[in-house]
Amino acid sequence: MGRPLSSAELVAEAPVHPDLAFNGYVCAHVVHALEQLGVFRKLAEDRVLEIPVFCARNELDESVVRSLVDAAESFGYLESEGDRVRTTGTGEQAHRLLGFFTWGVGGYHDVFAHAAAIASGARRFGVDLHRDEGMVALGSAQADTALMRHILDSEIAGIEFGTLVDLGAGVSERVCRLVDARPGSRGIGIDISKSATDLALETVQRYGLGGTVEPVCADVLDMLFNGHRVPGAETADVVLSFMFLHDLLAAPEHRHEVIPRMRETFPSAHTFLFGDTTIRPRTGESLPIFSSGFELAHALMGVPIHTRREYEEIFTRGGMRIRRTVPFGAPHTYLFVLEPV
């Protein structure tokens, strides 16, 4: 089947005709359903899935599963012979990019479905309309594993650190993995979600890093602007933030103070690694996977996002030197490697 495509190579030609738009809508939901049922995972492990056995083992309605398999076969993602199902080359690509489907269909289905109500004022995001935070986190983790992790590992391999801080750490999987690979180091994973922080304690136990990695439930904006102190954070050599910076920059009144406050909050840090998705350039007649969904979702939530150039100007204005800007797996997503001036 040849070389796997990168996410940046997976583009749809514009205009997207109505037949493709509608079929794509259905296909995305089929892919997400199969992912939730474990079909892609089973096929990745065993190459072949026996529908009756799989359904019996997982207590699934066989007729519904067959309907989903038939639909996936019509889209070219699966192929079947009797009860036996295999993945096609296109299906293998979908499996690699499942994080986008989990993020979009699983995480933002209600937001996208109620876009008109948001526009009319009948519904308000964050008040009576919410995204599925668990699905957003899962989709982000899937995309990180498939598309970004190896890039971060390559970048951080050449960076010395004794203490690592991850802002918006979720369940602290990333900070645990990086500290585990660097004997003698320690880490702090900071996240505003108590449930994520509770799960992070389990992550720390799974890695056997108790006393070495500390999950902390805290609001990063409180750390930057309200003097909230996280013990040990001031000694951090390296500070990470992934797919979170646009949230920190959301309020226009202190947007240009975020980076200077980062330097003050982490005075010992010699390297900051910030990864985020940017606004796609409006050139050409193609739409890369993920970009349109990311842009629309944040518009509906009222969270501004930025171009690559705007990010670089914010960093420079805030007193950072851009050591390098690295394409970061997903389309128009970059890893900014920064150092204080």
Share of the chain above pLDDT 70, in %: 97
Q: Residues 6 or more apart from 179 whose CB is under 8 A from it?
A: 164, 185, 186, 187, 209, 212, 213
| 160 and 76 fall within a common domain | no
Q: Does some domain include residue 137?
A: no
Model confidence at 7, pLDDT cuts 50, 70, 90, reads low
In a domain, residue 83? The reply is yes
Using 50, 70 and 90 to split pLDDT, how confident is the model at 195?
confident
d(CA 237, CA 185): 10
Residue at token pair 């009576």: 128
Average pLDDT, the chain: 93
For residue 264, pLDDT over 60 is answered with yes
Residues 86 and 166 in one domain: no
Rounded Cα distance between 32 and 46, Å, is 20
Structural domain count of the chain:
2
Average pLDDT over residues 206-222: 96
Taking 70 as the threshold, does the pLDDT of residue 6 lie above it?
Answer: no
**170/196 Cα distance (integer angstroms):** 5
Give the pTM: 0.89
Q: Given this model, what pLDDT does residue 338 score? A: 98
DSSP state of 281: P
The whole-number average pLDDT for the span 14-30 is: 94
Least confident interval from 18-27, 136-145, 292-301: 136-145
CATH number, domain containing residue 35: 1.10.10.10
Across the range 300-315, mean pLDDT stands at 96
User: How crowded is residue 328: how many other Cβ atoms within 10 Å of its Cβ?
Assistant: 22
Residue 11 pLDDT? 82
> Would the pLDDT of 227 be above 70?
yes
Domain end (from 96, 117, 132): 96
Give yes or no: residues 192 and 278 share one domain: yes
Look at residues 59, 81, 96 and tell me which one is the last residue of a structural domain: 96
Average pLDDT of the residues in 108-118:
97
Q: Write phi, then psi, for 111 (nearest 5 degrees).
A: -65, -50
For residue 152, is pLDDT > 60? yes
- Alpha carbon separation from 259 to 36, 39, 71, 268 (Å, rounded): 39, 44, 48, 15
Angle at 231 between CA 236 and CA 244, to 5 degrees: 60
Q: Rounded to whole angstroms, how far apart are CA atoms 174 and 189?
A: 9
Residues 91 and 157 in one domain: no
Upper half-sphere CA count for residue 236 (Cβ side, 13 Å): 30
Model confidence pLDDT, tens digit, residues 35-68: 999 999 999 999 999 999 999 999 999 999 999 9
Instruction: Specify whether the CB–CB gap between 249 and 257 falls below 8 A.
Output: no
Domain boundary among 77, 96, 115: 96
pLDDT category at 332 given cuts 50, 70, 90 is: very high
With respect to residue 293, please indicate whether it lies within any of the assigned structural domains.
no
Show the tokens assigned to 41: 């995972």
pLDDT on residue 2: 42
Residues 160 and 238 in one domain: yes
Q: Please check whether residues 278 and 172 belong to one and the same domain.
A: yes
- The CATH number linked to 267 is 3.40.50.150
**What are 237-252's pLDDT values in tens digits?**
999 999 999 999 999 9
pLDDT of residue 13: 84
> Is the residue at 187 inside a domain?
yes
**Are both 80 and 211 inside the same structural domain?**
no
Residue 312 included in any domain: yes
Residues 337, 274: contact at Cβ < 8 Å? no
> Directed axis angle between helix 62-74 and helix 51-58, to 10°?
130
Whether 49 is covered by a domain: the verdict is yes
What is d(CA 315, CA 153) in angstroms, rounded to the nearest whole number?
A: 23
For residues 73 and 189, state if they share a domain: no
Two tokens, residue 40: 């892609």
Q: Is the pLDDT of residue 1 over 50?
A: no
Do 167 and 309 sit in the same domain of this protein? yes
Q: From CA 278, how far away is CA 333, in angstroms rounded?
A: 6
300-305 mean pLDDT: 95
Q: Report residue 80: phi and psi, to 5°.
A: -130, 155
5 pLDDT higher than 90: no
Residues 62 and 184 in one domain: no
Residue 106 lies in a domain: no
Domain-located, residue 124? no
For residues 179 and 308, state if they share a domain: yes
Residues 164, 232 share a domain:
yes
- Residue 36 belongs to what domain range? 7-96
